[in-house]
Structure 1
Amino acid sequence: MSERRQLINLAYRLLGSLADAEDVVQETYARWYAMSPSQRAAIESPAAWLTTVASRVCLDLLGSARARRERYVGEWIPEPVPDQAEWISGRSAGAAADPADRVTLDESINMAFLVVLEVMTPAERVAFILHDVFRYSFAEVAEIVGRTPVACRQLASSARRRLRESQVPLTPTAQRADIVRDFKQAWEAKDIDALVGLLDPGVTMVADGGGLVPAQLRPIEGGAQVASFLIQIADRALDLTILQRTVNGQPGLVGLQDGVTVTVMAFDVTGEKIKHIWVVRNPDKLKPWTAR
């Protein structure tokens, strides 16, 4: 059971959903305890066995995710998680033998990173996360995904290329926090000019209500359009309290009504401008926040 945290960390990054990650880990342990004591005793490395099973369950889920996304109401955004310290867990074994070209664990939970993962094939995503994030060797990855080490190296390389194509220079965390704070203040003041000034002209805002609560079904593009929509929300939701919080390891905002979290907002800041805003309103994806 000491491996549970590691498995949750892995499955969350693979699936972009904490709820699904917890289901995967539960299924993994169900398979473990379904074996006889002698069968379990014969497994040389329980940790490796659990990781292999969890990864394969995730791979199966990712294979069917496209069909599930097509039935989803509106846009699908990865499930946001609170305070990054709760979600960072690494694996140092064998790390020295692996290439240094990999992302760090804290980078691998930010929303922009998770959104890029969504465009990868299931095999790319699993090979990339296992190797570049959790530092498994390609020989180990090959055993997990059922491909050759060479094929897994190519999958990870392809995934890395997708990530590089989407990446922009990172804005320092303190500066991102200042920009998000200024955004919050301009929004609360209903200062449309200040909002436009903080938004990149090509900004995109995506909302996820899952068909359970009101949310824009399609992305809103353009600084003026996004600012205008935000002012409309401020005019309607007079009882909404906005707080600054850490969302997926980055400065973000949380909206509360009657003390209950109803909205979590993640931001992608490029230079001094906000390039992307992800608004999660689906209550099923906010359970880690309402529980706090």
Structure 2
Amino acid sequence: MNRLTQLFRSGTPDLLNVYFTAGYPRLDSTVPIITSLAAAGANLIEIGMPYSDPMADGETIQRSSMRALKNGMTLDLLFEQITEARRQTEIPLVMMGYYNQVMQYGPERFVSAAAKAGVDGLILPDLPLHEYRQDFRQLAEAADLQVSFLITPQTSEARVREIGAVSTGFIYVVSSSSITGKSGGITDAQQAYFARINALDLPQPKLIGFGISDAASFRTACAYADGAIIGSAFIRALAGREDDVEKATREFVEGILQPVA
């Protein structure tokens, strides 16, 4: 059974999904970050595929992507690193990037390499639903790769239900109409949006992302979903910690999972 499926069926509450950019802060940071996140208590890991022209990523992730590319990160190397990490942990791994990267690599080749490396799911924000249904879904399902789609506060109810019907992993609930990296707490309007999505009784698990940056915002998001996604805040925590990413990772996760007074 797919590891993501196992995780969501386990009924574990308040799932912590941590995003990081592969190849940042150093080219060889990927494996120690994955194993350290797993050891520290993360429930699943989102591995960012560095890309020169991101559409949804804020300044923090953009900078980490440029650094990773300058470090020499490629998809071929990333698959090798994931293969090595998979030898050390069974934590669910999701790759997040852009469909243009997949097309350039070759969809069949990409899906095959991801599955062989031990990847469990994909998030491709620019993958159109019609193209997913027509071309990509069969490839992903044959390789047992779950595909998750994003919704935002502006997504219509009909569109939300459509996305809920096609998402095979989880529904990525974007917390606000902005790029990644924004913070400042979760507003009443955002909580009303989360409650509205909950009321739709969608068939797939939900994780809330964008703007989740500390223990308080993580706990608030978890009150409305199966868990939450933290990315930019973790990448900021890795800045300047090239020589001790394991310690930086452990400290960050411990800070997120600490009880909120």
Give the structure-1-normalised TM-score: 0.26
Bigger radius of gyration among the two: 1
Q: Which has the higher contact order (CA 8 A, sep 6+)?
A: 2
Point out the structure with the larger helix share. Answer: 1
